[in-house]
């Protein structure tokens, strides 16, 4: 079984989720739970750091789609950062850069939230 892990840290009023391992149809619920609990707490400024992500499937991409509308309606956003080229390629093929802020670096995303 391929593993997946979500860790959370706070940076001011922005929450950074570090995701690690394989994000597919089996592990997607873990990220869903993580995002859902942030929304339940009223936390809508979210950065997802892809630095340690090895693989993402379409179901993994779907997780972000599931929450983005609600988050943006609450003046928040999900910004995606630190993708390796292979992961970025998956996002790019589907046209995700049109829909999401995909950034080089976590700090950059936090700064953008705060500006």
Interaction site with other proteins (CB under 8 A): 24-25, 54, 57-59, 61-63, 65-66, 68-69, 86, 90, 93-96, 98-99
Least spacing, CB of residue 112 vs other proteins, in Å: 20
DSSP 113: H
Is 11 or 88 the residue whose CB approaches other proteins more closely? Answer: 88
> With contact defined as beta carbons under 8 Å apart, do 67 and 39 qualify?
yes
Q: What is the DSSP letter of 7?
A: E
Count of C-beta atoms within a 10 Å radius of residue 15: 21
Segments of the chain assigned E as strands:
4-11, 14-23, 45-56, 77-81, 101-103
For residue 98, give both structure tokens: 């049109």
Q: Give 7 or 114: the residue with its C-beta nearer to other proteins.
A: 7
Which residue number, 33 or 114, has a Cβ lying nearer to other proteins?
33
Cβ closest to other proteins, residue 82 vs residue 91: 91
CB of 94 to other proteins, least distance (A): 4
Q: How far is the CB of 50 from other proteins (least distance, A)?
A: 17
**82, 50 Cβ separation under 8 angstroms:** yes
CB of 66 to other proteins, least distance (A): 4
């Amino acid at each position: 079984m391929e593993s997946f892990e979500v860790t959370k840290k706070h940076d001011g009023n922005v929450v950074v989720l570090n995701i690690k391992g394989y994000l597919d149809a089996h592990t997607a619920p873990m990220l869903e739970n993580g995002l859902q609990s942030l929304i339940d707490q009223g936390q809508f400024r979210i950065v997802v750091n892809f630095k340690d992500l090895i693989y993402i499937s379409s179901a993994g991409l779907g997780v972000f789609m599931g929450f983005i509308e609600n988050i943006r309606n609450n003046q928040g956003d999900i910004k995606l950062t630190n993708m390796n080229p292979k992961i970025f390629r998956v996002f790019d093929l589907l046209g995700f850069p049109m829909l999401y802020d995909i950034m080089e670096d976590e700090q950059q995303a936090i700064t953008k939230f705060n500006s």
